[in-house]
Structure 1
Amino acid sequence: MKITFLGTGTSQGIPVITSTHPVCLSTNKKDKRLRVSILVEWEECTYVIDCGPDFRYQMLRANVQKINGVLITHEHADHIAGLDDLRPFCFQIGAVPIFAQKRVLDNLAYRFEYIFNDNYKYPGAPKVIQEVIENKPFTLKNLEIIPIEVMHGELKIFGYRFNNVAYLTDVKTIDSVEKKKLRNLDVLIINAIRFKPHHSHLNLDEALKLIEELKPKKTYLTHISHHLGFHEEVEKTLPKNVFLAYDELVLEI
């Protein structure tokens, strides 16, 4: 399995528009972060998790030639605003499957009516197949996908486990039942937005405590804001099995 970090930033990305924060002015490539998303590849399959406003550039930058579908964690703009840029893949393969909770698909149908409503389509609009998923395992091309229900503040959202890899973003809390799904991981990918507490995201201390509890072999932190600091400085302070993810990082698992 191959995982490519398409974006590792928060809802505004780094640099933030108009910001003069030192991290936003950094010339280090690892301090420049698009909105959070990963590409997951196995056998002949390619799936994207989330489709944010940087989706077009992410596909070009990673030279993605095809996708088999999109898994959505939740309906916030930084995770779904790039849906219109599915069009080239639709021209290539036809309708693109979108996997999400019913609540999320209903929200997308409202916000992207011209895509989801057959009575309101214009020529060239993306074609999608709505795939409703619940909090139970399902299979994509011989690979079992296990949804992980987590709380993003007061909102129930999904992370996903693929074999011994789990991807969780925008997490604030996880109950004990869902934590059981995160045992014996080779790789955990989880958010750590900044040092100060946040009402709907794990900060760094909270993320490290959860990592210590779950005990994955390796962890990569994502959904990072400029308030966490410079990539190279922060990574030096982390436990030996915890790393900051960065855009274009590739994991071969």
Structure 2
Amino acid sequence: MTITFLGTGTSQGVPVIACDCQVCASADPKDKRLRSSVMVEIDGKVIVVDSGPDFRQQLLRANVKRLDALLFTHEHKDHTAGMDDIRAFNYRQKAPVDVYATERVQAALKREFAYIFHEYKYPGIPELNLHTIVNEPFEVEGIPVVPIAVLHYKLPVLGFRFGGFTYITDAKTISDAEKEKIKGSDVLVINALQREEHISHFTLAEGIAFAQELGAKQTWFTHISHRLGKHADVALELPTNVRLAYDGLKLEM
């Protein structure tokens, strides 16, 4: 299994232009974060979790040539806005892309991308096969996936476990029952937005505590705001098995 972090940033607290804070002005490429998304490659199949506004740029940057499935954690635009860009894979693969989402997220996609789901198809629109996720294990191209239910303030969000890899973003609360699904992970990815308390995201301290509680061999933080600080500085504060992810990071499992 190969894990590629297409993006590790967030729209939360990030100025669009003219920011001269230490992170935004940093020359370190690890401080240049596009919106959070991850690519999982298993047995020749390519699965991506979330397609935010930077999706096209991320795919080009990572030289992604194939996309078998797109999974959505939730309906916020920083995780869904780039779905239109699957059309390049329709053209290349001569087939629809499988898209997996809960019924609530599907309803949001149908509102935001009404032209894709219209009865009368405009030529060249993205082609997809829509699959419904519930909080039960399912398969993508024969690959087992375990959904993990978390709360983003009061909004239900799904994380996903692929074998020994667990990916969770936009989490603030996780029940004991859902934590059981995470235990035994070799690699855990969890959000760590900033240092200050936040209503719907783990802070750095909460992310570290969660990592220590779950005891994965490695924990990587994603969905990182510029408010957290520079990558090199934050890295010095973390336990030995807890690290900050960065755009372009690849993990082999």
RMSD of aligned C-alpha atoms?
A: 1.3
Instruction: Work out the CA distance in 2 between the residues paired with 1:194 and 1:12.
Output: 10
Identity of aligned residues (%): 49
Residue 47 of structure 1 is matched in structure 2 by: 47
Whether 1:107 aligns to 2:94 is: no
Instruction: Work out the CA distance in 1 between the residues paired with 2:200 and 2:14.
Output: 19
Residue 236 of structure 1 is matched in structure 2 by: 236
Residue 221 of structure 1 is matched in structure 2 by: 221
Residue 130 of structure 1 is matched in structure 2 by: 130
- TM-score after normalising by structure 1: 0.97
Residue 30 of structure 1 is matched in structure 2 by: 30
Q: Return the offset for 1:86.
A: 1.0
Whether 1:171 aligns to 2:175 is: no
Q: Return the offset for 1:84.
A: 1.1
Instruction: Work out the CA distance in 1 between the residues paired with 2:179 and 2:162.
Output: 15
**Distance change (3 Å), C-alpha of 1:11 and 1:81:** same
For residue 116 of structure 2, what is the amino acid of its counterpart? Answer: I
SS at match of 1:109: helix
Residue 117 of structure 1 is matched in structure 2 by: 118
SS at match of 1:161: strand
Q: Return the offset for 1:15.
A: 7.0
For residue 115 of structure 1, what is the amino acid of its counterpart? Answer: I
Q: Return the offset for 1:141.
A: 3.0
Residue 76 of structure 1 is matched in structure 2 by: 76
Kept after mapping to 2: 8 A contact 1:13/1:35: no
Q: Return the offset for 1:194.
A: 0.3
SS at match of 1:170: coil
Residue 92 of structure 2 is matched in structure 1 by: 92
121-130 vs 229-238, which moves further: 121-130
- Deviation track 1:97-117 (CA, whole Å, cap 9, x = no partner) reads 110101000110011100122
Aligned length: 252
Residue 182 of structure 2 is matched in structure 1 by: 182
Kept after mapping to 1: 8 A contact 2:13/2:227: no
Instruction: Work out the CA distance in 1 between the residues paired with 2:114 and 2:227.
Output: 36
- TM-score after normalising by structure 2: 0.97
Residue 191 of structure 1 is matched in structure 2 by: 191
Unmatched runs of 5 consecutive residues or more in structure 1:
none
Instruction: Work out the CA distance in 1 between the residues paired with 2:244 and 2:174.
Output: 21
**Distance change (3 Å), C-alpha of 1:199 and 1:12:** closer
Instruction: Work out the CA distance in 2 between the residues paired with 1:75 and 1:188.
Output: 22
For residue 205 of structure 2, what is the amino acid of its counterpart? Answer: D
Residue 151 of structure 1 is matched in structure 2 by: 151
